[in-house]
Amino acid sequence: MVFCLRRRDGLPGLSISIAFTLVWIGLIVVLPLTALVLRPWQDGGAVMLRVLHDGRMYAALRVSFSCAALAALIDVPLGLLLAWALVRARLPGRRAVDALIDLPFALPTAVTGITLATLYGPTGWIGALLARAGIRVAYTPAGIVVALMFVGLPFIVRAVEPVLRGLPPELEEAGLLLGASPWQNFRRVILPPLLPPLVAGFSLAFARCIGEYGSVIFIAGNQPFHSEIAPLLIVVRLQEYDYEGATAIALILLLSALMCMTGVAALRRRVSRGLVARGAA
Amino acid sequence: MGGPSRGGNAVLVAGTYLTVLAVLVLPVLLVMVEALRAGLGAAWRSLLDPDALSAIRLTLEVTLVAVIVNAFGGVMAAWLVTKYRFRGRAALVALIELPISVSPVIAGLVWLLLFGRQGWWGDWLDRHHIQIAFATPGILLATLFVTFPYVARTLMPLMEQQGREAEEAAFLLGAGFWRTLWRVTLPDARWALLSGILLTTARAIGEFGAVSVVSGHIPGLTETMPLHIETLYNGYQTVAAFAMAALLALIAMATVLLRSFLEHDFRKASS
């Protein structure tokens, strides 16, 4: 076997690597996801119809999608600021800031969860300040947004940063020298090439945020129809042994996340083909 | 190099520090302060509690197996995808990266659909007294799914860049597949491999949602470190919860730092 491949392709190991790769992907990814896709239909359409008439599910999806969108939207200017500072500013401690930005990626979600719940809780460092101003964050949908902002921030920074690095600073200077106001300069010169990575970063953050669980449930309050996120409702349905209900929510979340990822991939292809204003690779 | 004006730079730097401080540093600081609220001794003793120790042991065991399986699979897949050209290559890469966009809760749910009491094979497993869901094997499977892509993902761009001349030469000189992989390809890619393994380790240790769905939540038996944090926190054992959280946060920060050094070295070596 190896010999015939050797002659044809010049490099051994094709059959070995195919075998191991297929077993690995097949058992860990394809098999369980097949179960996810097939399960809702196996008990007939009536069950699915009942599941799709569940108001609590739509409420949870609405909470998840709107909070994720809002959090990712707030992260866009913050992420742009951080990326800009990393690339362009004379920033003392750049390496430390650079490393800190990846912290939300690395910090276990349960740690993030109990920390933010304490920080924004009624007696927490930030929560107490906000309480004096009459604002409640913890145990409300605002708490969900705060947690998701933390989770989504690195996606924006890391999407914008490489593109910004590839833009010559002379571009902005030329704009200013030609008499543009700083605002005009930002809108007409700086923003257009950064738009594709900002959209990509937003989509990646959004896709991650709609599925987020651990960092949210401690701060969210988890009231059905009000501050209950979709991933939590999956867990609730599983505890009720309602596998169909859980699977239906899971499929909707999964498809939404996949659509975001496909969108990002398409956007990146367009940018690299030069159809959209282009930064460096 | 022009760069921003002095005043603009000051505003930019101040804004950056403020954002980093409020959003990123404050939470980490809070973890440490809460963990040490009753002193270092109390925090340390809470980590030596039998249930805490059992959670640490289970986490380490699961992490070790997950890293070995996904590092090996990742190396095989990276070799396949970068050294050969074939139809469906892009689809294969997409499939490898798929678990990244799957919610952790779904990563747990899928295993219940197979092995849970109402899952496809639940009855059969029940009859043969094999427990996968709500036991260690389920926790392992969920962790495997969640940490699936990282080694492959960090290896692929680098191995793509390497091409295959070195491997072809090694092969002409009489080395077989395993020898070529071990002696030629992997030494060149060792920083990427290490970085991917670090990422896998960090994700495996800290995974909460996926593991939470398939774990029975039995303290001392099926609780990993993050699950134990939840139990402690909900039981108002704040110091113990944050002591465990501080341990996980330190591991996370060490991982981030190590990877940033690795990347730094790698960039220096390749330039």
Q: DSSP string covering A29-61, please?
A: IIHHHHHHHHHHHHT-HHHHHHHTT-HHHHHHH
Cβ contact B76–A99 (<8 Å): no
What is the predicted pLDDT for the residue at B195?
92
What is the predicted pLDDT for the residue at B217?
86
Q: How far is A78 from chain B (nearest CA, A)?
A: 8
Nearest C-alpha in B relative to A168: B1
Pull the structure tokens for residue A103. Answer: 């912290």
Backbone angles phi, psi at A137, to 5 degrees: -110, -55
- Beta-carbon contacts of residue B7 (< 8 Å; ≥ 6 apart): none
| E-assigned strand segments in chain B | none
The answer to which of A2-6, A57-61, A274-278, B11-15 has the lowest mean pLDDT is A2-6
The interface pTM score, or ipTM, of the predicted complex is 0.90
Q: In the 8-state DSSP scheme, what is residue A187?
A: I
CB B188, CB B162: distance < 8 Å: yes
Cβ contact B255–A106 (<8 Å): yes
Select A45-272's CATH number: 1.10.150.20, 1.20.1260.60, 3.30.70.141, 1.10.3720.10. 1.10.3720.10
Quick one: pLDDT band at residue A4, thresholds 50, 70, 90? very low
Q: How far apart are CA B189 and CA A86, in angstroms?
A: 28
Q: How far apart are CA B131 and CA B110, in angstroms?
A: 16
Look at the alpha carbons of B9, A205, A62, A214 in this order and tell me if their dihedral is positive or negative. Answer: negative
CB B201, CB B63: distance < 8 Å: yes
CB B115, CB B121: distance < 8 Å: yes
Query: Is A111 part of the contact surface with chain B (CB cutoff 8 Å)?
Result: yes
Q: Where are the domains of chain A?
A: 1-42, 45-272
The residue with tokens 């077989």 is B176
* Per-residue model confidence as pLDDT tens for chain B (271 residues): 444 566 778 888 999 999 999 999 999 999 999 999 999 999 999 999 999 999 999 999 999 999 999 999 999 999 999 999 888 998 999 999 999 989 999 999 999 999 998 889 989 998 999 999 999 999 999 999 999 999 999 999 999 888 888 888 888 888 889 999 999 899 989 899 999 999 999 999 999 999 999 998 888 889 999 999 999 999 999 999 999 999 999 999 998 888 888 877 766 666 5
Which of B109, B111, B223, B231 is most worth mutating to test chain A (most A CB atoms within 10 A of its CB)? B109
Look at the alpha carbons of A136, A137, A138, A139 in this order and tell me if their dihedral is positive or negative. Answer: positive
Mean pLDDT of A199-212: 94
What is the predicted pLDDT for the residue at A18?
93
Q: How far apart are CA A83 and CA A76, in angstroms?
A: 10
Quick one: pLDDT band at residue A281, thresholds 50, 70, 90? very low
Q: Checking phi first, is residue A32 left (phi over 0); if not, alpha (psi -120 to 50) or beta?
A: alpha
Of residues A147 and A50, more confidently modeled: A147
CB A60, CB A228: distance < 8 Å: yes
CB A241, CB B119: distance < 8 Å: no
Of residues B116 and A183, more confidently modeled: B116
What is the predicted pLDDT for the residue at A279?
44
Q: How far apart are CA A159 and CA A193, in angstroms?
A: 12
What is the predicted pLDDT for the residue at B219?
87
CB A80, CB A156: distance < 8 Å: yes
Mean pLDDT of A50-79: 93
CB B18, CB A94: distance < 8 Å: no
Pull the structure tokens for residue B145. Answer: 């799914």
Q: How far apart are CA B105 and CA A239, in angstroms?
A: 13
Quick one: pLDDT band at residue A8, thresholds 50, 70, 90? very low
- Beta-carbon contacts of residue B107 (< 8 Å; ≥ 6 apart): B99, B142, B145, B146, B209, B210, B213
Q: Find the largest Cα–Cα distance for chain B.
A: 74
A96-145 pLDDT, tens digit each: 899 889 899 889 999 999 999 999 999 999 999 999 999 999 999 999 99
What is the predicted pLDDT for the residue at A2?
43
Q: How far is A66 from chain B (nearest CA, A)?
A: 17
Chain B residues in contact with A97 (beta carbon < 8 A): 16, 20
Q: How far apart are CA A208 and CA A157, in angstroms?
A: 15
CB B70, CB B144: distance < 8 Å: yes
Chain B residues in contact with A100 (beta carbon < 8 A): 20, 24-25
Chain B residues in contact with A253 (beta carbon < 8 A): 103, 106
- Beta-carbon contacts of residue B130 (< 8 Å; ≥ 6 apart): none
What is the predicted pLDDT for the residue at B232?
96
